């Protein structure tokens, strides 16, 4: 699976959009980009995933650049409860992959009043 | 509500004892996984199962055992052979299909007395 690079930490004001970047310059054509978040002492929560098109769901939007070498997770109106560690994961789809998720260090997002 | 239930939330074990962690899902997912998370680190895959009555070792299976007798259940036994069992254990499940995301339970924190 391709390696990802994320900033160690970010701050965001409550009510504003939080834009979390992820670099995955070695991504291959059949690897998906997944985003999870983890609040202390809880299990990771799935947020969104995509291959090459931009995706949106009730939690967030995922913007993937045309060359697929980077992506941005957007939380449109951050709340205090969005404070968590956010993980960007690139994973092979299908083939011999058995679904293992490799979590890096992630980005600590702090939303403040 | 559909989801993954792990129990207990906290578990204490005396040295030399085996303990079993429960994981139940009502999402009708075929695949289930067990991960271990140590402080400040990412997740490491212990075992996974893609279908009932079948399971495979992950990256750190030594000292652990699993069973998959029912689709809904994937219990993990931490045996006395596991030399460093203190960790946060996470169970996940996913639908089959190459890009299906994994959904996690809230974890069991195991400590050695």
Residues A86-92: what's their mean pLDDT?
A: 89
- Cα separation, A103 vs A94, in Å, equals 19
Minimal C-alpha gap between A113 and chain B (Å): 26
Whether residue A34 lies within 8 A of chain B, CB to CB, comes out as: yes
Rounded mean pLDDT, A60-71: 96
Q: What is the mean pLDDT of residues A28-50?
A: 92
pLDDT, averaged across chain A: 91
- CA dihedral angle for residue B31, residue B72, residue A59, residue A3, rounded to 10 degrees: -30
pLDDT value at residue A88: 95
Give B73's pLDDT tier (boundaries 50, 70, 90): very high
A93 with B31: Cβ contact below 8 A: no
pLDDT score, position A93: 63
Calculate mean pLDDT across residues B49-72. Answer: 95
Distance in Å, alpha carbon of B35 to nearest chain A alpha carbon: 9
How large is the average pLDDT for residues A88-94?
79
Closest CA of chain A from B7, distance in Å: 13
Which of the residues A97, A99, A103 would you substitute to probe the B interface, choosing the one with the greatest number of B C-beta atoms within 10 Å?
A99
Confidence of residue B69 (pLDDT cuts 50, 70, 90): very high
Are the Cβ atoms of B102 and A97 closer than 8 angstroms?
Answer: no
Q: Sign of the CA dihedral B94, A85, A47, B106?
A: positive
pLDDT of res. A1 = 62
Query: What pLDDT is recorded for position B1?
Result: 59
Q: Kind and range of the H or E element at B54? A: strand B54-57
Cβ neighbour number for residue A84 with a 10 Å cutoff: 21
Instruction: Identify the band that residue A95 occupies on the pLDDT scale cut at 50, 70 and 90.
Output: very low
């Amino acid at each position: 699976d391709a390696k990802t690079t994320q900033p160690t930490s970010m701050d965001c004001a409550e009510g504003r959009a939080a834009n979390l970047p992820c670099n995955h310059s070695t991504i291959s054509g059949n690897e998906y980009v997944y985003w999870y978040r983890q609040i202390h002492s809880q299990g990771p929560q799935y947020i969104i995933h995509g291959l090459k098109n931009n995706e949106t769901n009730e939690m967030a939007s995922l913007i993937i650049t045309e060359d697929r070498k980077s992506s941005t997770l957007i939380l449109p109106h951050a709340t205090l409860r969005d404070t968590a560690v956010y993980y960007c994961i690139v994973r092979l789809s299908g083939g011999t992959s058995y679904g293992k998720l490799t979590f890096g260090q992630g980005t600590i997002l702090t939303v403040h009043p | 509500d559909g989801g993954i239930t792990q129990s207990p939330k906290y578990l204490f074990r005396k040295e030399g004892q085996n303990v079993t962690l429960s994981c139940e899902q009502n999402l009708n997912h075929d695949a289930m996984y067990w991960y271990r998370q140590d402080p400040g680190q990412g997740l490491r895959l212990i075992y996974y199962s893609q279908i009932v009555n079948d399971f495979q070792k992950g990256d750190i299976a030594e000292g652990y055992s699993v069973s998959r007798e029912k689709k809904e259940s994937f219990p993990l036994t931490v045996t006395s052979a596991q030399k460093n069992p203190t960790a946060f254990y996470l169970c996940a499940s996913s639908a089959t299909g190459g890009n299906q995301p994994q959904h996690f339970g809230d974890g069991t924190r195991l400590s050695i007395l």
